[in-house]
Structure 1
Amino acid sequence: MHAAPVCSAIPEAVLIAGPTASGKSALAMALAEKTGGVIVNADSMQVYADLRIITARPSQEEEARCTHRLFGHVDADSDYSVGRWTTDAAEVLAAIRAAGRLPIFVGGTGLYFRALTQGLAPVPPIPEEVRARIRLEAEADTAQVLHARLATRDPLTAFGLRPTDRQRILRALEVVEATGKPLAEWQAQAGAPLLDGGTSLRVVLEMDRDQLRARIDSRFQDMLRAGALDEVAVLMGRDLPPERTILKAHGVPALMRHLRGELDLACAAQEGQADTRRYAKRQQTWFRHQMPDWERHAPDTALPALLARFA
C-alpha cells in the first residue's frame, strides 16, 4: 500500500492528505496526541467559521484535546484564496517551529499542499473593480462558455481546468485581465516552498472505493442528525452574494434547495451525498497525478507506520 519512505531522519513536519471521509482528521489527532504536535488545517472549506458540521471541521471537544490552527478563522462573506492560506500557514509554521513542536498539516485541498511544498505563483492582487466587472459580465454565461473564452486568452490554464469549474475559470480570467499575463505564466514563477519535501513525511490515505463511498454516505446522514440543516439555514439567513465560495461547500447547495422548498430532505441528502462522492473521486485523481512520490497508507494501518518514523 505504501511507497518507499521519502525521508530517513525524524521528519520536520507531517503532511496528511486524502479524500474526504477517509479518516485524515482522526489520524492527525492520534498523531498529535502521541507527539505533542500541532494540527494545521489544509482544507479550503474548513477555514470558514460558519459551517463546522457540514464541512466536517473538528468539534470543540476535539479542538480541546490538542492544538489546532487555521480552522474556522475566516468569515463566510470572504473568498479565501490559496495565497491567503499560504501567508497564514507561513505565520503558523514559524510559531510552531519557535515552540519546538511538530507541525501536522491535514486536509484534502491539493492546491494548499502544492503551495506548501512547491511554492506559490506570485500573482499580484486583483483590483476589486476588475473582479466585480469580470463577474458581472459572466453572470449570463455558462461555465463552458467562460472556459472557451479563457481558452482564447490563456490556453494553457484552460487546458488544465475542467470546463465546469466556474470559480477557477473566473479567477484565471481575472488574472489575465488585471495583469495582462496569463495565469499559466505566473504559475511558472512559483516562489520558494514553505517546507522541504525531502525532510517532511508526506502521506496520502487510500482506501477501497466502495468503502469510501459508504463512509461518505453514512457521514452525511450523521451530519444531518448533528444539525447540518440548521447550520445551513443560519448561513442562508446571512443573504450572502451567490458567488461566495462557502455556498458551494459540498452538500450546501442541496440543503439550501430543500430549505427553499425545491427538494424534500431525502432527495437533498442523496444529492449532497452524490456531490461529495464526485468530489472524493476528483481528489483521488489529483493525489494520484500530482502527488506520485507521497507515501500511501490505509487509514487503519497509517498511525503505526507514522509513529515508527519518530522512534
Structure 2
Amino acid sequence: MNAGAPPAPALPPAILLMGPTAAGKTAVALELARRFPVELISVDSAQVFRDMVIGTAKPDAATLAAFPHRLIDLISPEEAYSAARFRRDALAAMDEISQAGRVPLLVGGTMLYFKALLDGLAELPAADAGLRAALDLKAAAHGWPALHAELAAVDPATAARLPTTDAQRIQRALEVFQLTGRPLSALLARRERPPPTHQLLAVGLLPSARSDLHQRIAERFDGMLAAGLESEVERLRSTYRLHGELPAMRCVGYRQVWEVIEGKAPRDELRERGIYATRQLAKRQITWLANTLRPQVVDCLARDLPARVMRLVAPLFG
C-alpha cells in the first residue's frame, strides 16, 4: 500500500449466532432484535421449506410478523436447497441490510451453511440427474453402506467423516468422483477463502452439560408430537409429490414420522427414534462448532443467556 493512500474503509458488522438444536438460539435472537438495530437471517436447511412448521421449530406467524426472518419459506418440499445457494442468498441479504444501516444477525444450526459463508465453496460439478438415479438404484439393490464402502475405496477422507447411512452426502461424493475423476476431499481442499465482506462476530451457544441439553431435546420433540407433527407430515404427503429420499423428508423428525407412515418403522418407537436422531444431530452440530467454526462460546444453559450474548454484541453498536 502506498504511504499516502487512505486507509481501507471499515467493513460493516454482522453477527453469527450458532448452536445445536434446542440451545435457545431463536429466543436469544429475538431479544437482540428487541434491543439492537438488527435484521434476522435464518441459517437453517429445514426452515427453507414451505409448509414445514412444527418439525422445523419455525417461528410462528405472529413472531415472523414482528421480527421478519430472511431465508425462510423459500422453496417447496419437493425441491432441494444447497450450501452454495445459501451463500449467495445470505451475502445478498447481508449487503441489503448493511446498506440500510442495520446489522445482519444470522441465526441457526446448519453448520455447513455457516462454513460456506465463512470459507467459501469449492467449484464442484452440477448435479447429474441420470447419475443420481443410477446411484439410487444401486443403493436400493445393495444398501447405502455398500455405496459407502465404494466411496471409501476412492475417497477415504470423505468416507471417514460420513455415516454409512448418510445417503445424500454419499451420493454426492460418488457423483463428484464419477463426474471429475477426483475425490471430493481433494476438490474441497483446493478452495480459496474468499475476501471478507463483513466484520463478523461469531457467537456459539454450547451446553455446559450435555445431559441438560438432552432433556431439552426430549421435551422439544414431545412438544412437536403434541402439536401435530404426524398430521403435518400427512398434509405434506397429500399436498406435494414426496418420497423418502428428498432433502425435506430427510430432516430430523420428518424422516422418523415418514418411516412410520410408510410402515418401515413401528409407531411405538417414533418418540424414541426421533429423540435419538435429534441428539445425534446436536452432537454433530457441537463437533462442528468446537472443531471447525470456533466461535466465542456462551453457555446455552445459563439463566442469564440473553444478557451474556448482549454484552458480547453491544460493542458493535457503539
Alpha-carbon contact 1:69-1:92 (below 8 Å) kept:
yes
Aligned to 1:276: 278
Q: What's the offset of the Cα at 1:52?
A: 1.0
Match of 2:252 among 250, 253, 266: 250
Aligned to 1:306: 312
Return the letter of the residue paired with 2:314: A
Aligned to 1:4: none
For structure 2, the residue ranges without an aligned partner over 5 or more in a row are: 1-9
Whole-angstrom distance in 2 between the partners of 1:63 and 1:98? 22
* Deviation string, structure 1 residues 124-167 (Cα, Å, up to 9, x no partner): 21232222222223322222211111122222322332333221
Return the letter of the residue paired with 1:267: E
Q: Runs of at least 4 residues of structure 1 off by over 4 A?
A: 194-197, 260-266
* Deviation string, structure 1 residues 264-303 (Cα, Å, up to 9, x no partner): 75531222112111211121122111123x1000233333
Aligned to 1:67: 68
Q: What's the offset of the Cα at 1:102?
A: 0.8
Aligned to 2:289: 287
Alpha-carbon contact 2:97-2:104 (below 8 Å) kept:
yes
Using the size of structure 2 for normalisation, the TM-score is: 0.87
Q: What's the offset of the Cα at 1:94?
A: 2.2
Aligned to 1:5: none
Return the letter of the residue paired with 1:96: I
RMSD, matched Cα: 2.3
Matches within 5 A, 1:139-158: 139-158=140-159
Whole-angstrom distance in 1 between the partners of 2:233 and 2:69? 24
For structure 1, the residue ranges without an aligned partner over 5 or more in a row are: 1-8
Whole-angstrom distance in 1 between the partners of 2:179 and 2:265? 40
Whole-angstrom distance in 2 between the partners of 1:32 and 1:190? 35
Using the size of structure 1 for normalisation, the TM-score is: 0.88
* Deviation string, structure 1 residues 87-124 (Cα, Å, up to 9, x no partner): 22222222222222111111111111111111111112
- Secondary structure of 1:215 counterpart: helix
- Secondary structure of 1:104 counterpart: strand
1:201 aligns with 2:201: yes
Whole-angstrom distance in 1 between the partners of 2:184 and 2:265? 39
- Secondary structure of 2:201 counterpart: strand
Aligned to 1:3: none
Task: Provide the aligned length of Structure 1 versus Structure 2.
Answer: 301
Aligned to 2:177: 176
Whole-angstrom distance in 1 between the partners of 2:59 and 2:67? 11
- Secondary structure of 1:41 counterpart: strand
Whole-angstrom distance in 2 between the partners of 1:262 and 1:174? 27
Whole-angstrom distance in 1 between the partners of 2:266 and 2:148? 33
* Deviation string, structure 1 residues 224-270 (Cα, Å, up to 9, x no partner): 22222211111222341321011111112332344456767553122
Whole-angstrom distance in 1 between the partners of 2:121 and 2:256? 33
* Deviation string, structure 1 residues 155-210 (Cα, Å, up to 9, x no partner): 2322332333221111101111122222122212325447468x211011012211
User: Which has more radius of gyration?
Assistant: 2
Whole-angstrom distance in 2 between the partners of 1:259 and 1:176? 35
Q: What's the offset of the Cα at 1:11?
A: 6.8
Matches within 5 A, 1:44-123: 44-123=45-124
- Secondary structure of 1:167 counterpart: helix
- Secondary structure of 1:122 counterpart: coil
Task: From the superposition, tell whether residues 131 and 267 of structure 1 become closer, same or farther in structure 2 (CA, over 3 Å).
Answer: closer
Whole-angstrom distance in 2 between the partners of 1:60 and 1:41? 15
Alpha-carbon contact 2:148-2:164 (below 8 Å) kept:
yes
